[in-house]
Amino acid sequence: MAKDNFKRSKPTALLDDENDSGSIKPDSPDETMRKRRRFLQSGGALIGVAAAGAAQSLAHAATPDATAPQTLAAIPDSMRAPGTPIGTQPYGTPSPFENRVVRNVPANQTQYWSSTSRSPLAELDGIITPSGLFYERHHAGVPAIDPAKHRLMVHGLVERPLVFSVDELRRFPSVSRIHFLECSGNPVYKKPYGKTASDLVGLVSCAEWTGVTLATVLKESGLQSNAKWVVAEGADGAGMTRSIPIEKCLEDALLVYSQNGERLRPEQGYPVRLFLPGFEGNMSVKWLRRLKVTDAPVYSREETAKYTDLLPSGKARQFTFYMEAKSIITSPSGGQQIPDPGFVEIRGIAWSGHGKVAKVEVSVDGGKSWSEAVLQEPVLTRALTRFRFAWQWDGIPTVIQSRATDDTGYVQPSFGDLLDVRGDNSYYHNNAVQPWQIAADGSVSNANV
Amino acid sequence: MAKDNFKRSKPTALLDDENDSGSIKPDSPDETMRKRRRFLQSGGALIGVAAAGAAQSLAHAATPDATAPQTLAAIPDSMRAPGTPIGTQPYGTPSPFENRVVRNVPANQTQYWSSTSRSPLAELDGIITPSGLFYERHHAGVPAIDPAKHRLMVHGLVERPLVFSVDELRRFPSVSRIHFLECSGNPVYKKPYGKTASDLVGLVSCAEWTGVTLATVLKESGLQSNAKWVVAEGADGAGMTRSIPIEKCLEDALLVYSQNGERLRPEQGYPVRLFLPGFEGNMSVKWLRRLKVTDAPVYSREETAKYTDLLPSGKARQFTFYMEAKSIITSPSGGQQIPDPGFVEIRGIAWSGHGKVAKVEVSVDGGKSWSEAVLQEPVLTRALTRFRFAWQWDGIPTVIQSRATDDTGYVQPSFGDLLDVRGDNSYYHNNAVQPWQIAADGSVSNANV
């Protein structure tokens, strides 16, 4: 008897005619109308309610601050007429009041083919970056690709060279993962330093990616015994090409066709991209058209002329895949202003290409002392992690900063310590602590000048 | 000595001049060029690579199917010139090739003030619904609200009536949660039944919400001892009003200002909405302007004339808050077509207003037998959960369906069992199993006719 299906171990008001214990008994109609009148009458008493400064009270002042009384407008215009009918926006967009929240294209970007746009980190909450604000890094602009014509080839040291349409890739078993993506040049080391969180590390974003594991597709093709690397090629004007160790390809690499629920955006590699969780962003080749299995790296332009790290010794380090543990305070951050002394929730993001964020510490005294922030659950592997720290700002100028530790035990270094090791030839993989200067008027600026 | 900060327990190629073991030794320049030439030459050999039907091979055919050879176009047009420069879309949008993926406005919707639009569930992957495709249910259209002018008042049985601007609400401690939202009329019980997953249960979506807990704000106002309910009022033309038990307000209710990282969209309650995880969607009052703490429900229009459940006895059940455990197969689903027999990954979503999804079972034989599907981790409380089930379709017509069990032990009922209990007066809270008919040609349709 299917009724067993309705059993639950907790009380419920639903589906249980036999059991009304969880439902609220309605009043008689008269009682209902009496209460409704009472509510409607109370609506007339709204004008002149005294306001308290919420932040003040959270600051544990003895009494709520009543120095800024406000009135609630009786009935706003929005309640006097119907709003915009449904169906006028088949695909929704942000409020016009938010039209300044866009990707940040650097003013000093002299040309737009090899280019970046940055996520407006100080405007974002949580860990999901909306796809419309996801950072971009292109090596030859954004190609327009017809998904019906696009093909992905797997060849080289395989038993069976294969060519897939997008629909064929979608037929494979699928997985969804929430992961960050970050450009290895985020941020640069040299002056002038960025002023805002977006200027500095806006080349990081996070999304839910869906696709097929690269391991599944490689297994389908059959790897030969000398398969050591996979060379990925994009269908953009740059023919973006990177070599990836076979271990990463078999560990957690994805062939992604969807981001945040819907198909990839053009600027994220539509219709299919490689995605290498935790690796520097350019290796997650967009508009992916070819995977060649090889016994050695191909030494493409993007792993020789670019994306190598020139050390003080004059030796260049190549294939520095992993994005190390990093964090930044996004609120309050450069360009923002704390309105007045009192309660401030310090908010930011942390991440590590090696795994999960284990801990974020915050200093509000220029680095003399550090306290642990609260991490928003769930903390996911190779994903942005939101941290929060409750602070009482006393109105005195200071420097605030955050420091991430990942689950390998690695601790985000200071900028000085990083430069001591790297020297001043470095361009990529700057994961230094970012300090913010708070001035007496509450204005926030980059403490690195 | 700060160098300690750089230690990690796993090998790394980064930041360790002392330790080169993790980095790849570059070849000599000559060797590099030799390999690069070899790679480029191999590019010329791409034409005429035989393709295999990936799905066929996954179906464990003895050999890959080579009956549909394809060629990979030598160099696609997208590689012959730079693409669109960066900065042309400060706020990104989907590919023009995806312009049919929009919210689904029912054709039989005779007017647009009290209205719905549905998420295109069969087009979506993962658990995050992009905000542009999040379902809508409005009682008087979408109001245009200036966030600088908007106020939220908390009054009634409180120690301190308070009025908040949006900025003041943002100053409170914040939380982020991934939760589904679902309309209680999703789907209706009566014929004609919907044809697609979106027609049927497209009034459910899922997002990452950020805001302040209602408990924090109520604590700030100070609840009086007789506070039992909170009445929420929206600033839309409907003056949407619902009564919420104080227990829910203190458990996990949120005042939300951000969705999927950015500020709420207008159609989701910009600039601030109530959010009641797991409760029927209309109670999560949008464009929230007023919270009145009371000792009894207010018996508003939306909890008397609407959103009650008329039972066979003639008695109406009121305040049926929770959305029960539910699931639906979104691929393959109504309106889609399986291209040919062989491997099919059955994909769908499951959720429960009471907590986490504990299990999803799939039947591919009209309900005679059931097997457990794989749930995508992380499985979150009161969030959509993606399930997947590997199936070999033999080309014979059949009926497929999914059945969710939540962590209270509650099992999603069949439509017949639900009607046996509810009778035919019911309109809301239909959480029945949805069966799909697969025809011999692979076309999929609603098995309920």
Instruction: Give the Cα separation of B357 and B324 in Å (integer).
Output: 11
Which of A42-46, A66-70, B147-151 tops mean pLDDT? Answer: B147-151
Q: Are A65 and B171 in contact (CB under 8 A)?
A: no
Nearest partner of B117 among A261, A86, A85, judged by Cα: A86
**Distance of alpha carbon B229 from alpha carbon B236, whole angstroms:** 22
φ and ψ of B300, to 5 deg:
-75, 170
Q: How far does the CA of residue B209 sit from the closest CA of chain A (Å)?
A: 8
How many C-beta neighbours within 10 Å does residue A108 have? 5
Test mutation, A1, A9, A14, chain B, max B CBs within 10 A: A14
- Which residue on chain B is closest to A3 by alpha carbon? B417
C-alpha B240/C-alpha A79 separation (Å) is 10
Q: B378 touching A, CB under 8 A?
A: yes
Residue A141 predicted with pLDDT over 80: yes
Tell me, yes or no, if A134 comes closer than 8 A to chain B by beta carbon.
yes
- Residue A175 main-chain phi, psi, to 5 deg: -140, 155
Supply φ then ψ for residue A219, to 5 degrees.
-65, -40
Q: What is the per-residue pLDDT for A108? A: 74
Q: Measuring CA to CA, which residue among A322, A301, A309 is closest to residue A114? A: A301
The β-bridge relationship of strands A241-245 and B115-117 is: unpaired
Nearest CA distance, B192 vs chain A (angstrom): 22
Residue whose C-alpha is closest to residue B210's, from B174, B245, B239, B182:
B174
A14: its two tokens: 């639903």
- Looking at residue B32, its pLDDT comes to 38
B81–A124 CB contact, under 8 Å: no
> What pLDDT does residue A328 have?
98
Instruction: Kindly state the percentage of chain B with pLDDT values over 90.
Output: 75
- Per CB-CB distance under 8 Å, the chain B contacts of A408 are 8-10
Confidence of residue A31 (pLDDT cuts 50, 70, 90): very low
pLDDT of residue A158: 97
Q: Tens of pLDDT along A210-226?
A: 999 999 999 999 999 99
Encoded tokens for A275: 């995605």
pLDDT given for residue A210 in this prediction: 98
Work out the mean pLDDT of chain A and round it to a whole number: 86
- pLDDT at position B19: 33
Q: Give me the pLDDT at residue A416, please.
A: 95
More confident residue, A433 or A112: A433
**What is the per-residue pLDDT across B173-183, written as a single tens digit (0 to 9) for each?**
999 999 999 99
Nearest to B124 among A116, A261, A292 (CB): A261
* A12 and B CB contact within 8 Å: yes
Rounded CA separation A260/A262 (Å): 6
DSSP string covering B47-106: TTPPP--HHHHHTT-SS---SS-----SS-GGGSS--BPTTS-SS----GGGTT---B--
State phi, psi for A379 to the nearest 5 degrees: -85, 120
Question: CA-to-CA distance for A356 and A360, rounded, in angstroms?
Answer: 11
180-199 of B, contacting A, C-beta below 8 A: none
Q: Kindly indicate the confidence band of residue B72, based on its pLDDT and cuts at 50, 70 and 90.
A: low
Backbone φ, ψ for residue A237 (5° rounding) = -65, -20
pLDDT score recorded for residue B73: 52
Structural domains for chain A: 115-315 (3.90.420.10), 326-446 (2.60.40.650)
Neighboring chain B residues of A164 at a CB cutoff of 8 Å: 51, 54
Chain B, nearest residue to A297 by Cα: B35
Among A4, A32, A36, A39, the residue to mutate for chain B (most B Cβ within 10 A):
A39
CA A326 – CA B320 distance, rounded (Å): 46
CB atoms within 10 A of CB B420: 13
CA gap B230, B244 in Å, rounded: 5
What is the least distance, in Å, from the CA of B201 to any CA of chain A?
Answer: 16
- For the beta carbon of residue B272, count every other beta carbon within 10 angstroms: 30
Q: Is it the case that residue A442 has pLDDT exceeding 60? A: yes
| Residue pLDDT, tens place only, B97-108 | 999 999 999 887
Nearest by CB to A174, which of B4, B345, B417? B345
Question: Which residue of chain A has the CA closest to B415?
Answer: A2
With a CB-CB cutoff of 8 Å, which residues 68-127 of chain B face chain A? 70-73, 76, 78-87, 89-98, 101-103, 105, 109, 112-113, 115-117, 123-127
CB-count exposure of residue B320 (10 Å: 0-12, 13-18, 19+): buried
At residue B87, the pLDDT reads 86
Contact A115 B87 (CB under 8 A): yes
Strands B288-294 and B151-156: parallel
Contact yes or no for A319 and B23 at CB 8 A: yes
At A72, the pLDDT band (50, 70, 90 cuts) reads low
Tokens 């300690």 sit on residue: B4
Mean pLDDT, chain B, whole residue set: 86
Residues 281-310 of A with CB under 8 A from B: 287, 289-290, 292, 294, 296-300, 304
pLDDT digits (tens, 9 = 90+) for B12-46: 322 233 233 333 333 343 443 343 333 333 332 33
| Mean pLDDT score, B372-383 | 98
Q: Is A2 in the B-facing interface, judged by CB distances under 8 Å?
A: yes
Cβ(A79)–Cβ(B239) below 8 Å: yes
Contact present, B233 and B290 (Cβ < 8 Å): yes
Interface test with B, best of A3, A63, A75, A128 (most B CBs within 10 A): A128
Q: Rounded to a whole number, what is the distance in Å from the CA of A334 to chain B's nearest CA?
A: 17
Phi then psi dihedrals of residue A312, to 5 deg: -55, -30
Alpha carbon of B309 to those of A8, A356, B56: distances in Å? 20, 46, 49
Judge contact between A330 and A206, C-beta under 8 A: no
Closest CA to A13 of B319, B296, B252, B247: B319
Q: What is the pLDDT of residues A81-130, one digit of tens each?
A: 999 999 889 999 999 999 999 999 988 776 667 899 999 999 999 999 99
Q: How does residue B260 score in pLDDT terms, banded at 50, 70 and 90?
A: very high
Q: Do B79 and A231 touch (CB under 8 A)?
A: no
Average pLDDT for residues B194-203, to the nearest whole number?
97
SS3 B380: coil
| CA of B56 vs chain A CAs: smallest distance (Å) | 10
- DSSP letter at A4 equals G
Is B432 in the A-facing interface, judged by CB distances under 8 Å? no
- Nearest residue of chain B to residue A40 (CA atoms): B298
Determine whether the interchain pair A85/B156 forms a contact, defined as Cβ–Cβ distance below 8 Å.
no
**Cβ neighbours of residue B277 closer than 8 Å, sequence gap 6 or more:** B177, B179, B252, B253, B254, B353, B381, B382
CA-CA-CA-CA torsion sign (B38, B40, B45, B48): positive
pLDDT digits (tens, 9 = 90+) for B124-138: 999 999 999 999 999
Contacts of residue B60 in chain A, CB cutoff 8 Å? none
Residues A254-282: tens digit of each pLDDT: 999 999 999 999 999 999 999 999 999 99
| Cβ atoms B261, B208 nearer than 8 A | yes
Closest-CA distance of chain B to residue A192, Å = 22
Closest to A56 (Cα-Cα) out of A341, A431, A319 = A341
All residues at 6 or more sequence positions from A314 whose CB lies less than 8 Å from its CB, including other chains: none
Mean pLDDT score, B48-66: 36
Q: Which residue has the tokens 């360009």?
A: A335
- Asked if the model's pLDDT at residue A298 lies above 80, the reply is yes
A212 touches B: beta carbon within 8 Å? no
Q: In terms of residues, how long is chain B? A: 449
Mean pLDDT across A423-449: 95
What pLDDT was estimated at residue A424?
82
Closest CB to A94 among B125, B262, B316: B262
A302 three-state secondary structure: helix
Nearest Cα of chain B lies from the Cα of A173 at a distance, in angstroms, of 6
What is the interface pTM, i.e. ipTM, of the complex?
0.87
Which amino acid appears at position B224 of this protein? Q
Q: What is the mean pLDDT of residues A323-334?
A: 98
Distance, CA of B418 to chain centre: 24
Q: Give residue B108's pLDDT.
A: 75
Structure tokens at B96: 């023009």
B149 at the A interface (CB within 8 A)?
Answer: yes
**Minimum CA–CA partner of A2 in chain B:** B417
Do B79 and A263 make contact, defined as CB atoms within 8 angstroms? no
Contact B260, B303 (CB under 8 A): no
For residue A70, pLDDT beyond 60: no
What's the pLDDT tens digit per position in B228-238? 999 999 999 99
Q: How far is Cα B165 from Cα A26, in angstroms, rounded to an integer?
A: 35
Q: Residue B310's beta-bridge partner residues? A: B316
Question: For the residues B284-297, what does the mean pLDDT come to?
Answer: 98
Alpha carbon separation from B242 to A255, A356, B24, B301, B382 (Å, rounded): 45, 41, 63, 9, 21
- What residues in B contact A134, CB-CB < 8 Å? 92
Which residues of chain A lie closer than 8 angstroms to B406, CB-CB?
A: 8
- Band (pLDDT 50/70/90 cuts) for residue B74 is confident
Give the range among A310-319, A395-404, B339-348, B393-402 with minimum mean pLDDT. Answer: A310-319
Cα B112 from Cα B125, distance rounded (Å): 29
pLDDT for residue A44 is more than 70: no
Give the C-alpha separation, A434 to A333, whole Å: 10
Phi, psi values for residue A104, rounded to 5° = -95, 110
Q: Are the Cβ atoms of A287 and B78 closer than 8 angstroms?
A: yes
Q: How far is A349 from chain B (nearest CA, A)?
A: 12
Identify all chain B residues contacting A237, using CB atoms and an 8 Å cutoff: 78-83
Q: Which of A178, A112, A186, A99 is nearest to A142 (CA)?
A: A112
Of B163, B167, B297, the CB nearest to A72: B163
